[in-house]
Structure 1
């Protein structure tokens, strides 16, 4: 099982995804170059933001996958931003179909971060307890929408320019309240195992919360089962 990950962000996703994949799929080993994949490897690269990821990033990924001819999946990880998940998925699928791309046996999987990866990070209830005394502006954010109680993916943009700006600021203020920091370049505790486990616990306890994050987890579980099945088949043969 070899996976080509093309992520939207040039900093945050490049740091978070490898750590999370290490916890979820320790059998899957990262390689530095796309042509180094052999068995149970993955290659991860940034698409340099949106919409560049769907043009230069995607075209380069397609070329490298065809050249290597050893990838089972091409995985695109993007933000929904101001669109709905269905709107962004349909746009990407139509774009790929328009390219008339033949990747052979390589499957394409689209992971949408609704609204952005910081939206997922807001699902950690352990790091944030809205019942504790809070200072402004975090108290204002909680009064607007308490992410410890309600699904972060359904939260609005408050009085900010867009959803991503507000969700990022919300995460940063939650981290600051715990005397830790979060930036796009240095996501801090978000890359740690305990943080991921709390997000997993959130979707296990609230099946309607963080649906796109649950999609990511389900895909990882599919990969794990496939690798185990292939390993068992090889041992029996």
Structure 2
């Protein structure tokens, strides 16, 4: 199986998804371009943020079409930000369908599976789902206030709103994650995500999904990995 993976961000997501692919699909090896794919490979492309990532959808679909039968899976991983999950999914879906109009994809790549994976609201929201990292009794006043506002160890991080003083949900979720991790002696930056790329962290998020109804958008990524595993990887 060959995979093309488009991620929205330029810093965190490439590091995180590469680590998760090594963990979940170790048989895959990374190559630079679609044309370099032969067997059991993947191409990971940064969309350089929103909305420029949409332009990369078009380019990657052209690359896939120009290399018939080479790619079986195309994953598009994009934040919902301030949109609802449904609104952002529909926006990405419309973009994909518009690019497929007039393309020969159905004939040249009949087995291609396109999966839209929305990080609701951002990838840091998913990381907040590791319920073993938030202390029962936080020490920092900031984290005490955050937990009082919304306890991500007990309630679904994807449903958390914006704390007063933060311009967006994503900026608050990032601040919450940093505060949560620093109390466990870990630091998180976009350039150096740290512990969140560890296999055990991914497994904890998967376990959270298994025992709760939380992190529904993360479940879409788990389903993609499971489908790839069923394909023999």
Give the TM-score category using the shorter length.
over 0.9
TM-score normalised to the size of structure 1?
Answer: 0.91
Q: Residue 79 of structure 1 contacts residue 112 of structure 1 at CA under 8 Å; is this kept in 2?
A: yes
SS in 1 for 2:75: strand
SS in 2 for 1:227: coil
SS in 1 for 2:151: coil
What's the offset of the Cα at 1:103? 2.4
2-structure distance, mates of 1:116, 1:102: 33
Choose from 117, 121, 136 the match for 2:123: 117
Equivalent position of 1:185 in the other structure: 191
Choose from 150, 166, 169 the match for 2:172: 166
Q: Residue 40 of structure 1 contacts residue 227 of structure 1 at CA under 8 Å; is this kept in 2?
A: no
Residues 1:134 and 2:136 aligned together: no
2-structure distance, mates of 1:76, 1:53: 9
2-structure distance, mates of 1:202, 1:39: 33
2-structure distance, mates of 1:107, 1:212: 18
Matches within 5 A, 1:78-227: 78-99=78-99, 100=101, 101-104=103-106, 105=110, 106-129=112-135, 131-159=136-164, 160-206=166-212, 208-227=213-232
What's the offset of the Cα at 1:50? 0.6
Residues 1:63 and 2:62 aligned together: yes
In structure 2, runs of 5+ residues without a counterpart are none
Aligned length in residues: 225
1-structure distance, mates of 2:82, 2:223: 24
Deviations 1:131-175, CA, capped at 9 Å, x for gaps? 124212111100000000000000001121111100011111111
TM-score normalised to the size of structure 2?
Answer: 0.92
1-structure distance, mates of 2:24, 2:209: 15
What's the offset of the Cα at 1:203? 0.8
Equivalent position of 1:233 in the other structure: none
1-structure distance, mates of 2:4, 2:19: 16
What's the offset of the Cα at 1:97? 1.9
Equivalent position of 1:19 in the other structure: 19
* Aligned residues: CA RMSD: 1.3
1-structure distance, mates of 2:105, 2:172: 38
In structure 1, runs of 5+ residues without a counterpart are 229-237
